[in-house]
């Protein structure tokens, strides 16, 4: 069965600093990969997705992610974090059964 690991439970960065959130997956083939953001008490918003093709994916709000097959990773990056980026971030994979398997999430805190 597929699994998703987000090793960082909580990350704090200063506003304007760069950000990288890690995501590793386990699956026999190349899965479909997603990053979602969730603000407190809210639903999920899709930031970006990777299905195939270019391994560097651009998303909304200035986010990007890079799929690295050799490392089974799909890390999320942003060059300059804004205070409004503070939220919970989930990496997810879809691997055949069409339901998503989510990582445990990374809570991002942004310091002024």
Partner 1 sequence: GAVVSQHPSRVICKSGTSVKIECRSLDFQATTMFWYRQFPKQSLMLMATSNEGSKATYEQGVEKDKFLINHASLTLSTLTVTSAHPEDSSFYICSPRDRAGVGLEAFFGQGTRLTVV
Residues 34-63 that bind partner 1 (CB under 8 A): 34, 41-44, 46, 49, 51
Buried b (16+ CB within 10 A) or exposed e, 53-68: eeeebebeeebbbbbe
- Strands 106-111 and 10-14, by their bridges, are parallel
Buried b (16+ CB within 10 A) or exposed e, 97-110: eeebbebebbebeb
Residue choice 65, 103, 108, 110 for contact with partner 1 (CB under 8 A)? 103
Closest distance to partner 1 from the beta carbon of 89 (Å)? 11
Quick one: 76 or 92, whose CB is closer to partner 1?
92
Quick one: 38 or 73, whose CB is closer to partner 1?
38
Q: Is 98 in the site for partner 1 (CB under 8 A)?
A: yes
Q: Is 8 in the site for partner 1 (CB under 8 A)?
A: no
Q: Is 5 in the site for partner 1 (CB under 8 A)?
A: no
The pair of structure tokens assigned to 24 is 């590793």
| Cross-strand pairs, 45 | 37
């Amino acid at each position: 069965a597929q699994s998703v690991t987000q090793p960082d439970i909580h990350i704090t960065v200063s506003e304007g600093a760069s950000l990288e959130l890690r995501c590793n997956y386990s699956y026999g083939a190349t899965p479909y990969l997603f990053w979602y953001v969730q603000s407190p008490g809210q639903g999920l918003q899709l930031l970006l997705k990777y299905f195939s093709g270019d391994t560097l994916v651009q998303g909304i709000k200035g986010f990007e992610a890079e799929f690295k097959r050799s490392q089974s990773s799909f890390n999320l990056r942003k060059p300059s974090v804004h205070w409004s980026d503070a939220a919970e971030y989930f990496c997810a994979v879809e691997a055949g059964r069409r339901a998503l398997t989510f990582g445990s999430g990374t809570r991002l805190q942004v310091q002024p």
